[in-house]
Amino acid sequence: MSKLSILNKIGEQLQSLKRLSRTEQGKEIFTFLVFVVLATCIWFILAINDNREDVVQIPIELVNVPQEAFLLQDMPPYIEARIRDKGAALLSYDINGISPIKVNFERHSNQRDAMTINNSAIIEYARRQLRATTSINDIAPDSIRIAFTYDQGRRLPISIDADISTSPFCTLSDSIYTMPDSATIYGKTAQIARIEKLYTEEVVARNINDTTYIKARIKPIEGTRIVPDSITVVIPAEEYTTKTLSVPIIIGGVPDGYSVMTFPSHITVTCHIPMSKYSGATSKDFLIGNTFDQIQTTPGANGAIKVMGAPQYAHNVTLSVDSVEYIISQKTLSPTPQVTDSIQP
């Protein structure tokens, strides 16, 4: 719509109002509006001169924190005060805001493990930021306690609590991992010495068909602080394909003096692997077989075989058979030749 058409529309509306104001009905509407405006002005004047209650938020900041001290809790961003004053003063707080309270760490610290601001100190701080005519009826929180430590903290690995499923024809292409892979925990030395690992809150992801990045929080531990408190969980996923390999059967733990032969000596292994791993996957990546002790417990000449090792990216690994024939033979030791000494005449 052009500027000219907009101006024409405005002109038409003004002409309509002008015509309406000349009618008896228009004069009544205009008179009513004038009285509404006057009543509003009178109400406003009375309101700002009456004593009223309001709830205000006063920002609060912690200053002069020693560089070697590490806070285990955050300072609340504000205190909430229920105040009473004339409407004009309350309106001023709403329009101009209230200057933040600056709390000196050294004044309230016990120099060991905590900084405490009691109720009387909070009220005193709040009064300094308000007008002399303003009274405080209530304040929250009524006290503040911030634990801190001078210890350096411990860097710990992060374990992932995950419930993951991929979409059809997709699979995990590698291990799920976090960025970063560790975090620093701060707290009392005796407490953090007993902690060996940090855990994420449960990560749930469904029908993943590509590498996915999920923001996750680290489970908090009471009395400590963890930095960072959230990490990125990386779920590598991609489409999979089926690969078939011929893998040798290995019998482990064969005692000295024995040998084991299996029939067949190789077995067909089928698995789902990511497309990117297809060309690199070989029979050497899989360990199929059993232990000498296990096959001996199987009745008859057949021994069970199983997957004893496979790459993490290989899924749904299946064997063409679950048992094979075997022959255990004991090696015969060659007799040690005797040496006869002879004396030449």
Is the pLDDT confidence value at 339 over 60? no
The answer to whether residue 343 sits within a structural domain is: no
Domain end position, chosen among 149, 168, 194: 149
User: What per-residue confidence (pLDDT) applies to 340?
Assistant: 43
User: What per-residue confidence (pLDDT) applies to 32?
Assistant: 72
The answer to whether residue 313 sits within a structural domain is: yes
DSSP 209: -
User: What per-residue confidence (pLDDT) applies to 42?
Assistant: 63
d(CA 13, CA 7): 10
User: What per-residue confidence (pLDDT) applies to 88?
Assistant: 79
Domain end position, chosen among 132, 149, 166: 149
Tell me, yes or no, whether 37 and 57 share the same domain.
Answer: no
* Domains contained in the chain, number: 4
User: What per-residue confidence (pLDDT) applies to 112?
Assistant: 83
User: What per-residue confidence (pLDDT) applies to 167?
Assistant: 92
Residue type, 241: T
User: Which percentage of the chain shows pLDDT scores above 70?
Assistant: 84
Angle (deg, nearest 10), helices 24-49 and 87-96: 90
Tell me, yes or no, whether 55 and 142 share the same domain.
Answer: yes
Per-residue pLDDT tens for 96-131?
889 999 999 999 998 788 999 999 999 999 999 999
Residue partners of 125: CB distance under 8 A and separation at least 6: 60, 101, 103, 117
More confident residue, 265 or 20: 265
The answer to whether residue 336 sits within a structural domain is: no
Per-residue pLDDT tens for 263-320?
999 999 999 999 999 999 999 999 999 998 888 776 667 888 999 999 988 999 999 9
The answer to whether residue 61 sits within a structural domain is: yes
Question: In Å, how far are 10, 23, 147, 256, 302 from 150, measured between CA atoms?
Answer: 70, 82, 11, 59, 66
Tell me, yes or no, whether 214 and 229 share the same domain.
Answer: yes
- With b for 16 or more beta-carbon neighbours within 10 A and e for fewer, the 103-140 pattern comes to bebeebbeeeeebebeeeebbebbeebbeeebeeeebe
User: Residue 195 sits in which domain range?
Assistant: 154-235
- With b for 16 or more beta-carbon neighbours within 10 A and e for fewer, the 146-160 pattern comes to bbbbeeebbebebeb
User: What per-residue confidence (pLDDT) applies to 335?
Assistant: 55
Phi and psi dihedrals of 241, rounded to 5? -135, 165
More confident residue, 332 or 183: 183
Q: Report the SS3 class of residue 318.
A: strand
Asked if 250 and 265 count as a contact pair (C-beta separation under 8 A), the reply is: no
Is the pLDDT confidence value at 68 over 80? yes
User: What per-residue confidence (pLDDT) applies to 341?
Assistant: 45
Q: Summarize the confidence of residues 28-39 as an average pLDDT.
A: 72
Tell me, yes or no, whether 28 and 93 share the same domain.
Answer: no
Domain end position, chosen among 217, 235, 253: 235
Tell me, yes or no, whether 94 and 117 share the same domain.
Answer: yes
Tell me the pTM. 0.66
Question: In Å, how far are 304, 305, 306 from 292, measured between CA atoms?
Answer: 11, 11, 13
Tell me, yes or no, whether 193 and 214 share the same domain.
Answer: yes
Q: Summarize the confidence of residues 169-195 as an average pLDDT.
A: 92
User: What per-residue confidence (pLDDT) applies to 155?
Assistant: 95
The answer to whether residue 221 sits within a structural domain is: yes
Per-residue pLDDT tens for 207-236?
999 999 999 999 999 989 999 999 999 999
User: What per-residue confidence (pLDDT) applies to 334?
Assistant: 55
The answer to whether residue 9 sits within a structural domain is: no
Is the pLDDT confidence value at 18 over 70? no
User: What per-residue confidence (pLDDT) applies to 342?
Assistant: 36
Tell me, yes or no, whether 89 and 73 share the same domain.
Answer: yes
